[in-house]
Amino acid sequence: MNVEPIKLFLADDDVDDRFFFQDSLRKLPLKTCLTMVNNGVELMTLLNQDNQELPDVIFLDLNMPLKSGFECLAEIMEHEQFKKLPIIIYSTSMDEPLVSALYEKGAFHFIRKPSEYSKLKDVIFKGLSSLDNTPKKPSKENFVIQS
């Protein structure tokens, strides 16, 4: 049985967070193909390339220079070809009004970056497992993935 790898984009300006994410992803029992960018401008440039194959999911940090994750989410949701992309917000912020706004804007899940590296693998796995074959946006009660 040959299962295609899950294609992920990660947009995060923190080099350590990118490293920990990549390292945790390697430890999951899933085949993945990760593309990382440093900020929102790079993410939008990558998505808008003519020959770019769209990812299966985007993990998006909120607090980035040049273009924030919130701005990227809004821009992604404006484009018909991107609207169905599952966007998982991946951030240290946990402001309830902001989390609600992200859900309303179209984000698929919200994951608060765990303070313990040992829990990172579990929250990434929960986020990816929720995608299954045909991703359907969860209810608001299931929007936040806790570690």
pLDDT in tens, 55-112: 999 999 998 888 998 999 999 999 888 888 899 998 887 788 888 889 999 899 898 8
Instruction: For residue 127, give both structure tokens.
Output: 């986020």
| pTM of the predicted structure, to 2 decimals | 0.90
Backbone angles phi, psi at 84, to 5 degrees: -90, 0
Where do the structural domains in the chain lie, given as residue ranges? 6-145
CATH superfamily ID and name for 6-145: Response regulator (3.40.50.2300)
Q: State the CB neighbour count (10 A cutoff) for residue 62.
A: 22
Cα–Cα distance for residue pair 147/20, rounded to 1 Å:
15
Q: How large a percentage of the chain has pLDDT more than 70?
A: 95
**Contact status, residue 107 vs residue 90, Cβ threshold 8 Å:** no
Q: What pLDDT, on the 0 to 100 scale, is given for residue 135?
A: 63
Q: State the CB neighbour count (10 A cutoff) for residue 45.
A: 12
